[in-house]
């Protein structure tokens, strides 16, 4: 069994900060790339940031300088530090982890259940 769980969402005022966490657990051989995606009201899911196993990061242009993605491979965790939040950052944030299971030896993308982020203005 593999589980991917997000936490840290909530309500924050514009200009404030939130930290999202993602924890993967279970039948894990290794985790390759990980990333955060979000879906705002009336919008399609979009990439926010990704981080490779080697620590190479990639950010959507609209979050550069405000968000920071990181990971701790010893704990199979990933975080997204969000600063200077804007109302347009509101949405459901999903964690994606590319995981190789011991059972199959195949890499599959696993998604968390999502964390709601609401930025008031």
Tell me what pLDDT residue 50 has.
98
pLDDT for 15-45, tens place per residue? 999 999 999 999 999 999 999 999 998 899 9
pLDDT for 59-98, tens place per residue? 999 999 999 999 999 999 999 999 999 999 999 999 999 9
Q: Where do we find the tokens 């069994």?
A: 1
């Amino acid at each position: 069994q593999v589980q991917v769980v997000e936490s840290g969402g909530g309500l924050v005022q514009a200009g404030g900060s939130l930290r999202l966490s993602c924890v993967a657990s279970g039948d894990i051989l290794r985790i390759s790339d990980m990333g955060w995606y979000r879906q705002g009201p009336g919008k399609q899911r979009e990439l926010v940031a990704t981080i490779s196993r080697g620590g190479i990061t990639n950010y959507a242009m609209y979050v550069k300088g405000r968000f920071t993605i990181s990971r701790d491979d010893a704990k199979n965790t990933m975080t997204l530090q969000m600063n200077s939040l804007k109302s347009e950052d509101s949405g459901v944030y999903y964690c994606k982890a590319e995981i190789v299971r011991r059972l199959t030896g195949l890499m599959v993308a696993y998604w968390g259940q999502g964390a709601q982020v609401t930025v008031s203005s």
